């Protein structure tokens, strides 16, 4: 394509963006128009992509971080022959693949869901790490960002990570159109402000006029030929470029053009230029070899093992059995115990430092490239990445997240380090699986099964040691539970998970000594829950007492309700959970203070029985 | 104090850090020892603080962002005469004010809870903004950071904000001890790497030897005398400084010293040096004038008003009535409608750009200074600040967060913009209040009441307009609800909030036409819930059907359970909620697809009645 052809293609992308938004009566045409020349040059000259084979391992990866500019993306897909004009005009309509913000659940060419700003680059870093360190395929990751989103800290977490890792297979293009949603950005067209920042984070920086296709071409060439550093192309652009009456005007974000018809005319009318996107070189997928048999660590019944230790050991074993498993950690691998994996599989271990958003984003990027990532930090600090987890679910990303140091049971460190809201956070994620093992063998089995599940999978581990209660051959199906104690005389059921399983077992023993029989269920699968077993217990014992080292809202207690919301009978329920703000204290003191230790369970059960609340 | 005295004081801080950790048998002495000289010079020469009057408006603010170095902080409090040696040795014990990580809930001199890294600076920015733009008192905000935590994006969000706002009343001291928890940091002692980054974000940078008290003194002087820019003091230090055998050694993070006794001897033994911390100049509190009567906007019954519009208008009115109300927004004030407040009270409006962590952190910092902040963005994007909200609860911070664009009802923009997990997230926050109004008058009343509550308060607003159903004089107590429709013949109860209230009312009307009477409850107070009304409805109708524009986990459906977890009878329950991943569609199509529109409610109710599941 000549420079003229490129300019024509860019105008077509603008026209189609305007048309799509006009047909939808919503959307972001002005944000699309500023980046049309960038997109045209990328598609015609630099991207290597086979639209017939989105799974081609050699494909470049393109991420539209400014996901609201989706009309531009769809217009580009149309120009590449991947979409028809008819489909383009279904933009934002019910049932259309062309959603307001792009997602890979709907379209095979979309690498990751965007629409929450500041996430495209972090996920791109994950893909670039995969290309460089795991796949070793010379594809390039292109990320198109808006300028507003550079205010997000996640962008600088990612910039730091990419600069430090010398990701020269990563190019970020920033569409500096000066205007955010409600008005000017902090730095408007001061490209130097952005250049200084990226340079400080060890990036190569190229500044360009974002409407000069020759200059853009040179900038992209420079990016692709820069070794040892990622490159950012800072492109000065006009929001609404191409239509004089709306160019660089405030108050037009996220709205169809006031007069689409005359705008289309001004842009040169409807065209049907086709762009030949270059195909990638042949490449083979290097991962996904499964070495074979999984040999999980074995322990003696009664041996004291922390589930975080069991996790680290199981993950290392899983890494031996499966070549597609990778591990990531937020600079606490000695606490989460991913250090065991790091030692055995250093080539598949990624240190993400104290940067939890990038930790999860890297996992999302690697999952998109076919890896099975396990990302770990303290359960409490996964809240830092909540928005990334939410978006991972929208992407349909298969990621494993493991949070250690759950609950008040960590003891002296105090509430800032205690995961007390994690179950609530992960239960509410669409399509998630939430697991909370109480012993070493259970942890190992669940960790292995997680690799085979869809969506976001979360497992919670504990800091302190607890006795092994299951044999090494025991199965723990997802959605299952274990009835650890039952009799026909049970007067209520204790439902526990993790550390509280052991407290519940002790409580049951103490209660038995008082002549009160109670059932004990280990509800290791918090989502999905084991409806049948819970219903059976409800029928037989009439009352369920949940005991959890978590806030009373959204955790185990609420999860039990998942078994009883079809309009059928609901048993009596009591939730023992952490209702106060803990301070520092020993693990035993913490459990007692929270009212979730064996004695507190006994007291609650006794009260329920004596007051004849239950039978 | 002479240089020698300062060195002696620093040694005492080390000794007391070692002693406190030894007594606790846990804690972070090595991380305390690296920063002891910095702390000694700050206390003796630069901090202005009246320990007898922690509420003195002129006090400088000191934030220990590396909260794990709490032994150093407590040692400094002791040296200042604020703590006894006996209390120092209660460190990390049950009931002690000296928690593993400092929190203002326990100690009056702590400005904000830390322990989740990368939060001290963002909250400090909030305080510095307050000092400069609201209080106009020349106190200085000092933040002591670790080097590991500079990997957090939130640090750079804050750096960007502080640089842009020219916060020359803010000084960050970075204790560059080269070692994180599990090993070396990315940049170790490369101070230039950090200097380049801060300079790029428009900060003044001073590099110093962190163990040379004269050099530190000069650095702090330079910081305090720098105008127009915040200053970062990058201090090269040794982790474990002062004890040769542990200095700069890996593997000693977060552990008491192996031989505390000989370490104390090497550090010169136990001392009792007192430091005279300079008192602040007299200053008066400028805020908290309440101008008087609150005049909330009034609407006609039946008028269509979006609750986000009602929020913006009510907030503007509240700002007129109360001089202590401030508003912050994440660059979407035209969507959340805080623009109404911005227009009327520009001096109390803070644009935080697309940076939700800093948005919430600014609110926390301002709340600590006595303001009543309302921080707003899309409900979906508040997930970005989850860890900050969690820590705000640990601080006991009184902040108001308002999330707009809740649920699938936003329509075409798609799932990335839909708040579908926000109720779950906020319900699980300790001490939180969660509100979800359905009409304009209710919104206004709730917004006004939020200002008077403790802790984290969340209110959810909707994008689309809905009819006003309550009169302007109606009261909406926190923890209350409204029974909108009831009769003795009710066969079930619809429990709704926000947009689903209107769907439930329509459904009840349709069902009445079929001879099926149902009760309708507007559960605007999601936490706390109105137990009495829900129990009454349960007793009378036997079955509750919750209808919510939120995931089925952790939201309204689970909240209803809060009324029934005392072991008493639980009604039959059905949860209508968003169970699939939405795409783009109109609001009406979205509600239908999610099964939470009037017709879906009718269908569910009919089924329950016909199948005689209920009575």
CA angle A153, A154, A160 (to 5 degrees): 90
Mean pLDDT, chain B, as a whole number? 97
What DSSP element (H or E) covers A483? strand A482-485
Per-residue pLDDT for B49 more than 90?
yes
Residues 236-265 of chain B whose Cβ lies under 8 A from any Cβ of chain A: none
pLDDT digits (tens, 9 = 90+) for A236-252: 999 999 999 999 999 99
- Paired residues of B235 in beta bridges: B175, B208
Place of tokens 């005689």: B612
B160-170 mean pLDDT: 98
Q: Which residue in A31, A554, A556, A578 has the most chain B C-beta atoms within 10 A of its own C-beta, making it the best mutation to test that interface?
A: A554
Cis amide leading into B528 (omega within 30): yes
Of B331, B420, B567, the CB nearest to A182: B331
| Per-residue tokens: B39 | 């702390």
For residue B43, what are the contacts with CB-CB under 8 A and spacing of at least 6? B9, B76, B79, B80, B275, B277
C-alpha distance from B49 to closest chain A C-alpha (Å): 26
Q: Which residue in B94, B427, B607, B615 has the most chain A C-beta atoms within 10 A of its own C-beta, making it the best mutation to test that interface?
A: B94
C-alpha distance from B383 to closest chain A C-alpha (Å): 5
C-alpha distance from A1 to closest chain B C-alpha (Å): 34
Cα–Cα distance measured from residue B434 to residue B550, given in angstroms and rounded to the nearest whole number: 14
Share of chain B above pLDDT 90, in %: 97
What pLDDT, on a 0 to 100 scale, did the predictor assign at position B611?
75
Q: Tell me, yes or no, if the pTM score tops 0.90.
A: yes
Q: Is B351 a residue of the active site? A: no
Least confident residue range of A274-288, A423-437, A471-485:
A274-288
C-alpha distance from B508 to closest chain A C-alpha (Å): 18
| Per-residue tokens: A390 | 């939410």
Of B180, B412, B573, the CB nearest to A100: B412
What 3 state SS string does A234-300 have?
EEECCCCCCCCCCCCCCCCCCCCCCCHHHHHHHCCCCCCCCCCCECCCCCCCCCCCCCCCCCCCCCC
What DSSP element (H or E) covers B261? helix B260-266
pLDDT digits (tens, 9 = 90+) for B70-112: 999 999 999 999 999 999 999 999 999 999 999 999 999 999 9
What DSSP element (H or E) covers B234? strand B231-236
Contact (Cβ atoms closer than 8 angstroms) between residue B484 and residue B501: yes
Place of tokens 């994950």: A126
- The answer to whether the CB atoms of A589 and B94 lie below 8 A apart is yes
pLDDT digits (tens, 9 = 90+) for B488-546: 999 999 999 999 999 999 999 999 999 999 999 999 999 999 999 999 999 999 999 99
Q: How confident is the model at residue A117 (pLDDT cuts 50, 70, 90)?
A: very high
B347-356 mean pLDDT: 98
Of A152, A335, A420, the CB nearest to B355: A152
Q: What are phi and psi of B47, to 5 degrees?
A: -70, 135
CB atoms within 10 A of CB B226: 16
C-alpha distance from A466 to closest chain B C-alpha (Å): 20
A57-75 mean pLDDT: 98
A120-135 mean pLDDT: 98
User: Which of B393, B394, B383 is CA-nearest to residue B423?
Assistant: B383
Per-residue pLDDT for A10 more than 60?
yes
- Paired residues of B547 in beta bridges: B496, B576
Cβ–Cβ contact B98 with A under 8 A? yes
Per-residue pLDDT for A285 more than 90?
no
Of A99, A569, A584, the CB nearest to B99: A584
Mean pLDDT, chain A, as a whole number? 97
Find chain A residues with C-beta within 8 A of B156's C-beta: 153, 156-157
Cβ–Cβ contact B293 with A under 8 A? no
Of B148, B151, B569, the CB nearest to A157: B151
Query: Nearest chain B Cα to A607, which residue?
Result: B567
Query: Nearest chain A Cα to B250, which residue?
Result: A334
What DSSP element (H or E) covers B61? strand B61-64
- Paired residues of A482 in beta bridges: A522
Q: Which residue in A100, A120, A592 has the most chain B C-beta atoms within 10 A of its own C-beta, making it the best mutation to test that interface?
A: A100
Burial class (CB in 10 A: 0-12, 13-18, 19+), A586: middle
What pLDDT, on a 0 to 100 scale, did the predictor assign at position A610?
86
What pLDDT, on a 0 to 100 scale, did the predictor assign at position B143?
98
What pLDDT, on a 0 to 100 scale, did the predictor assign at position B287?
57
CB atoms within 10 A of CB B26: 19
Cβ–Cβ contact A182 with B under 8 A? yes
What pLDDT, on a 0 to 100 scale, did the predictor assign at position A111?
97
Cβ–Cβ contact B90 with A under 8 A? no
- The answer to whether the CB atoms of A27 and B354 lie below 8 A apart is no
Q: How many CB pairs under 8 A join A and B?
A: 356
If you count them, how many residues does chain A have? 615
Work out whether the CA dihedral A325, A330, A336, A339 comes out positive or negative: positive
Per-residue pLDDT for A200 more than 80?
yes
Cβ–Cβ contact A379 with B under 8 A? no
User: Which of B438, B352, B360 is CA-nearest to residue B399?
Assistant: B360
Of A380, A387, A581, the CB nearest to B383: A387
Find chain A residues with C-beta within 8 A of B118's C-beta: 354
What pLDDT, on a 0 to 100 scale, did the predictor assign at position A289?
60
Cα–Cα distance measured from residue A570 to residue A572, given in angstroms and rounded to the nearest whole number: 7
Q: Which residue in A343, A565, A579, A582 has the most chain B C-beta atoms within 10 A of its own C-beta, making it the best mutation to test that interface?
A: A565
What pLDDT, on a 0 to 100 scale, did the predictor assign at position A58?
97
Could you give the 3-state DSSP secondary structure of residue B587?
helix
pLDDT digits (tens, 9 = 90+) for A295-317: 999 999 999 999 999 999 999 99
Could you give the 3-state DSSP secondary structure of residue B277?
coil
pLDDT digits (tens, 9 = 90+) for A568-595: 999 999 999 999 999 999 999 999 999 9
Q: Which residue in A415, A429, A603 has the most chain B C-beta atoms within 10 A of its own C-beta, making it the best mutation to test that interface?
A: A415
Catalytic choice (A149, A356, A421, A548):
A356
Residues 575-594 of chain B whose Cβ lies under 8 A from any Cβ of chain A: 575, 580-581, 583-586, 589, 593
Contact (Cβ atoms closer than 8 angstroms) between residue A77 and residue A308: no
A7-30 mean pLDDT: 98
Query: Nearest chain B Cα to A382, which residue?
Result: B387
Question: Strand order in A492-496's β-sheet?
Answer: A482-485, A518-522, A492-496, A543-551, A572-578
- 3-state DSSP helix/strand/coil percent for chain B, to nearest 5? 40, 15, 40
Query: Nearest chain A Cα to B605, which residue?
Result: A567
Cα–Cα distance measured from residue A277 to residue A80, given in angstroms and rounded to the nearest whole number: 7
Cis amide leading into A528 (omega within 30): yes
Of A185, A333, A414, the CB nearest to B101: A414
Residues 403-442 of chain A whose Cβ lies under 8 A from any Cβ of chain B: 411-417, 420-421, 424-425, 427-431
- The answer to whether the CB atoms of A100 and B593 lie below 8 A apart is no
Of B413, B415, B569, the CB nearest to A572: B569
What pLDDT, on a 0 to 100 scale, did the predictor assign at position B289?
60
For residue B515, what are the contacts with CB-CB under 8 A and spacing of at least 6? none
Helices (H) and strands (E) in chain B, counts: 22, 19
- The answer to whether the CB atoms of B421 and A415 lie below 8 A apart is no
Per-residue pLDDT for B348 more than 80?
yes
The region, left, alpha or beta by phi > 0 then psi within -120 to 50, assigned to residue A450 is alpha
Cα–Cα distance measured from residue B5 to residue B420, given in angstroms and rounded to the nearest whole number: 58
- The answer to whether the CB atoms of B574 and A566 lie below 8 A apart is yes
| Per-residue tokens: B378 | 């899309």
Find chain B residues with C-beta within 8 A of A356's C-beta: 152, 387
- The answer to whether the CB atoms of B27 and A116 lie below 8 A apart is no
C-alpha distance from A531 to closest chain B C-alpha (Å): 15
Q: What are phi and psi of A279, to 5 degrees?
A: -80, 150
Query: Nearest chain B Cα to A576, which residue?
Result: B565
What pLDDT, on a 0 to 100 scale, did the predictor assign at position B610?
86
- The answer to whether the CB atoms of B553 and A428 lie below 8 A apart is yes
Find chain B residues with C-beta within 8 A of A396's C-beta: 581
Query: Nearest chain A Cα to B389, which residue?
Result: A383
Strands A525-527 and B141-146: unpaired
Catalytic choice (B135, B157, B266, B356):
B356
Cα–Cα distance measured from residue B94 to residue B96, given in angstroms and rounded to the nearest whole number: 6
For residue A247, what are the contacts with CB-CB under 8 A and spacing of at least 6? A238, A239, A240, A241
Q: What is the CA radius of gyration of chain A?
A: 27
C-alpha distance from B406 to closest chain A C-alpha (Å): 14
Of B98, B331, B391, the CB nearest to A148: B331
């Amino acid at each position: 394509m000549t420079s003229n052809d490129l300019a024509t293609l860019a105008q077509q992308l603008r026209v189609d963006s305007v048309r799509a938004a006009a047909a939808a009566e919503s959307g972001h045409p002005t944000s699309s128009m500023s980046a049309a020349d960038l997109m045209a040059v990328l598609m015609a000259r630099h991207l290597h992509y086979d639209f017939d084979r989105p799974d081609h391992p050699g494909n470049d990866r393109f991420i539209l971080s400014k996901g609201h500019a989706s009309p531009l993306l769809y217009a580009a897909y149309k120009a590449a022959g991947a979409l028809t004009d008819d489909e383009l005009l279904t933009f934002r309509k019910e049932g259309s693949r062309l959603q307001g913000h792009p997602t890979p659940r709907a379209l095979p060419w979309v690498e990751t869901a965007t629409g929450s700003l500041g996430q495209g680059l972090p996920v791109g870093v994950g893909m670039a790490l995969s290309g460089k360190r795991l796949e070793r395929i010379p594809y390039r990751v292109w990320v198109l960002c808006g300028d507003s989103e550079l205010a997000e800290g996640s962008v600088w977490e990612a910039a730091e990570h990419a600069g430090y890792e010398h990701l020269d297979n990563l190019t970020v293009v920033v569409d500096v159109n000066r205007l955010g949603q409600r008005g000017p950005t902090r730095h408007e067209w001061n490209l130097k402000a952005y250049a200084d920042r990226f340079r400080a984070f060890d990036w190569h920086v190229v500044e360009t006029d974002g409407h000069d296709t020759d200059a853009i071409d040179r900038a992209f060439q420079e990016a692709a030929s820069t070794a040892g550093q990622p490159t950012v192309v800072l492109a000065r652009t006009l929001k609404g470029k191409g239509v004089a009456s709306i160019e660089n005007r405030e108050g037009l974000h996220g709205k169809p053009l006031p007069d689409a018809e005359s705008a289309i005319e001004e842009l040169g009318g409807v065209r049907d230029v086709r762009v030949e996107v270059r195909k990638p070189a042949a490449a083979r997928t290097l991962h996904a070899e499964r070495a074979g048999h999984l040999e999980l660590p074995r322990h003696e019944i009664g041996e004291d093992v922390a589930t975080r230790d069991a996790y680290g050991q199981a993950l290392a074993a899983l890494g031996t059995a499966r070549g597609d498993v990778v591990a990531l950690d937020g600079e606490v691998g000695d606490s989460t115990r991913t250090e065991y994996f790091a030692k055995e599989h250093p080539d598949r271990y990624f240190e993400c430092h104290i940067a939890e958003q990038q930790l999860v984003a890297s996992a999302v990027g690697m999952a998109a490239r076919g890896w099975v990532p396990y990302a770990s930090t303290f359960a409490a600090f996964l809240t830092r990445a909540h928005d990334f987890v939410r978006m991972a679910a929208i992407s349909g990303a298969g990621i494993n997240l493991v949070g250690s140091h759950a609950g008040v049971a960590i003891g002296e460190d105090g509430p800032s380090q205690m995961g007390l809201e994690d179950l609530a956070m992960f239960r509410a994620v669409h399509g998630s699986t939430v697991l909370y093992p109480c012993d070493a063998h259970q942890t190992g089995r669940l960790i292995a099964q997680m690799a085979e599940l869809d969506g976001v999978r979360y497992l919670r581990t504990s800091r302190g040691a607890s006795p092994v209660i299951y044999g090494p051959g025991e199965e723990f199906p997802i959605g299952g539970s274990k009835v650890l104690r039952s009799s026909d005389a049970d007067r209520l059921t204790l439902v526990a998970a993790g550390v509280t399983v052991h407290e519940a077992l002790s409580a049951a023993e103490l209660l038995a000594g008082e002549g009160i029989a109670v059932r004990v269920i280990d509800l290791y699968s918090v989502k999905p829950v084991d409806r049948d077993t819970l219903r059976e217990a409800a029928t037989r014992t009439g009352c369920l007492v949940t005991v959890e080292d978590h806030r009373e809202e959204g955790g185990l207690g609420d999860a039990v309700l998942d078994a009883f919301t079809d309009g059928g009978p609901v048993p009596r329920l009591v939730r023992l959970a952490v209702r106060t703000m803990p301070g520092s204290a020993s693990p035993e003191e913490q459990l007692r203070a929270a009212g979730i230790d064996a004695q507190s369970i006994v007291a609650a059960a006794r009260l329920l029985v004596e007051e004849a609340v239950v039978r």
